[in-house]
Structures are given as structure tokens and as C-alpha cells.
Structure 1
Amino acid sequence: MLVRDAMTKPVLIVGPEHTLRQAAQLMTARRVGSAIVLDPDGSGAGIMTERDVLYAIGAGKNPDIELVTSHITWDVVYATPEWSLEEAAMAMARGGFRHLVVLEGDEVLGIISVRDIMRVWAQRRAEAALSI
């Protein structure tokens, strides 16, 4: 199976000037663990994850004042929609992260997470067990 078949779309997009609380509220409302951060000045697509919010609050940052821009991961590993799930899982394991931004050219198509991959693999295993 390919990344395009398992990725989450549409993605949640926040701006660098959102507060941490606003980003967390949007992620909570959408029931997702990450948001794409688009920089209007052209720095490309970054990502903010629930882990970034947790670390900021754990460090004593005020979520009502602290801006997303200070907590964005810009050094993102991107996947293409044609990657296999195995390639995506290996990239996550090598990099020690749980989300990959899926790009086609410069366009953000989705996000694939460890949870997305596990869901597909578990579903395949269940289907295989039923066919025995």
C-alpha cells in the first residue's frame, strides 16, 4: 500500500502567528496530532505537533502568549504519495518522529502518521486472519 492511500487529508493548517493554545484547540477539534504551518513569507511548510506544544508548556511557556512560530519544526522530512508504507515507517524510525508531511511538488497533500500506518497494517492483518 502507498502513502497516498493511508495519509490523512485534508490537513490542518495554522499560521506562525497563532498562539500555542489556538493551535492546540484546532488540533483538538480536528482530533489530529499535528498541523502544517505555512509561512506567508515563503519559508515553505513546517509542522507543529502535539509534542511541540507539550514541550513548550513543560518549559513554562504561556500558551496564550507564545506563538507557533517559535516552536515550528522547519527541518521536515517529506514523503511523496508514491512511497510505500514501509518506506514511510522506516523514515519515521530513522528520524525519531511520528509524522511525515506528504508533498507532491510544492503542494501539501496530507500527513501520514504512525497511527495511520498502524491502522492500515492492523486492518490488513485482521482481513488476512478472516480469510483463513
Structure 2
Amino acid sequence: MLVREAMTSPVVTIPPSATVRQAIRVLDEHEVTALPVADGDGRLVGIVSEMDLLLGEFEADPRAFARPLPGTTAPGTPSPRHVGDVMTREVTTARPGADVAEVAELMMRTRIKSVPVLDGPDIVGVLSRRDLVAVLARGDARIRDDVLAALAEFGAGAPFDVSVDDGAVELRGAAGEPARRIAEVLARTVPGVRNVSIRPVGP
């Protein structure tokens, strides 16, 4: 499966000049956990996450503590005011035609929660952990329907029976090797497919 088939698009961006509170409201309104930061030309200049925006936004309530706790924000300390002050400037990105499995592995290895997707200089989407979970949550019946549709669209559906068990697709049919190879590739493009196996059926 390719990144463009799993990413969230169109993408919501924010300028570095926006205030932290404005960015927090955008996160809340769109139910996302990070925002690509774009300059006036729409070019990616950073990414800002929930954690970036929340840092320093809350002060300790004196009613909760008898004395100040280490690490709490001192009263009167100004919070960061603009997205450009708190955003991450070194951003890991992906291309729409990249393999989701490779990007997901990178995200897990580096603990990155969201990856902006660039088509040339244009920000065309965001691939987040939530997007990956949504792909894996697709039910077997829907996956089977999508596999059958993909095979039918390319004229490769008739020779195969399709079954799906927990995202694992099995194709059964008496088609020749070239048709089996094409059917396997088509099935792997369907979101939610974990692996594909082909069981030839004799005459």
C-alpha cells in the first residue's frame, strides 16, 4: 500500500506567525495531533505537535501544592507566543508513492507521530499513527470487497476466489503464473492487507 492511500488529505497547515493558542484551537477543531508549518508560499518550514504547543501553557495551581515543585513553570514566566518559536524545524517527510510499511517502520523506530507528505514542494497530506491504526482497523469483509474490486477493475477477478482472515488475503484459482503475479500485486495495494498468498487450484 502506498502513502497516498493512507494519508489524511487535504492537509491542514499553520503559519509560523500564528500564536500558540491559535494553533491549539486548530488542533482541537480538526482532531489532529500535529500540524505542518508552512510559509507564505505554502512551503514546509517545520511541524508543530501537541507537546510543542502545550509546553509552558499551564502554570502550577498554588492550591494543589504546599510548595513549588521542581520543573513547574515559575509565575510570571512568559509562554512561547508563536508557532515559529516552538515548532520542530528538521522534519521527516514522505512521498505519496512511498511504501506505507517503510514509513510506518521509520515512524515506530524514531517515535515520530506524524509525517508530512510532499509532492515536490507541495504539502499534499499527513501520515499519522491514527491513519495507520485506521488502515489496520478495516474489517475483513471490506478488505475482501476491495480486493475483488481491484481484481475486477484490471480484468483479473474471474479466475480467483478471495478469502480474508485478519487482513491476510488468500487467492485461489487456476490462473497461470503471469495472472497470479498480477493478482498478488493488485491485492497488496488494498489498504488493510497484511500479506497475500496464492493457492493454485488444479484442473
The interval holding the TM-score normalised by the smaller chain is 0.7 to 0.9
Answer 1 or 2: which has greater helix percent: 1
Give the TM-score taking structure 2 as reference length.
0.56
- For residue 78 of structure 1, the aligned residue among 93, 100, 104 is 93
The secondary structure found in structure 1 opposite 2:16 is coil
Q: Is 1:119 the equivalent of 2:134?
A: yes
Q: Is 1:29 the equivalent of 2:37?
A: no
Question: Can you give the 5+ residue segments of structure 1 that lack an aligned partner in the other structure?
Answer: none
Farther off after superposition, 19-28 or 40-49: 40-49
Q: Is 1:104 the equivalent of 2:90?
A: no
Count of aligned residue pairs for this structure pair: 131
The secondary structure found in structure 1 opposite 2:105 is helix
- For residue 67 of structure 1, the aligned residue among 77, 82, 96 is 82
The secondary structure found in structure 1 opposite 2:97 is coil
Q: 1:111: how far off?
A: 0.3
Question: Can you give the 5+ residue segments of structure 2 that lack an aligned partner in the other structure?
Answer: 59-71, 144-163, 171-203
- Distance in 2 (CA, whole Å) between partners of 1:42 and 1:4 is 19
- Distance in 2 (CA, whole Å) between partners of 1:102 and 1:22 is 23
Q: 1:66: how far off?
A: 1.3
| Bigger Cα Rg | 2
**Would the alpha carbon gap of residues 72 and 123 (structure 1) be closer, same or farther in structure 2, given more than 3 Å must change?**
same
- Distance in 1 (CA, whole Å) between partners of 2:42 and 2:127 is 23
The secondary structure found in structure 2 opposite 1:78 is coil
**One-letter amino acid of the counterpart of residue 133, structure 2:** M
Percent identical residues: 33
Q: Taking CA–CA contacts closer than 8 Å with sequence separation of 6 or more, which of the two structures ends up with the larger relative contact order? A: 1
Farther off after superposition, 27-36 or 119-128: 119-128
Give the TM-score taking structure 1 as reference length.
0.84
1:85-100 superposed matches below 5 A: 85-100=100-115
**One-letter amino acid of the counterpart of residue 48, structure 1:** V
**One-letter amino acid of the counterpart of residue 69, structure 1:** G
Cα deviation 1:13-57 (Å, max 9, x = unaligned): 111111111000011111111111113389743111112112343
Q: RMSD of the TM alignment (CA)?
A: 2.7
Deviating runs (4+, > 6 A) in structure 1?
none
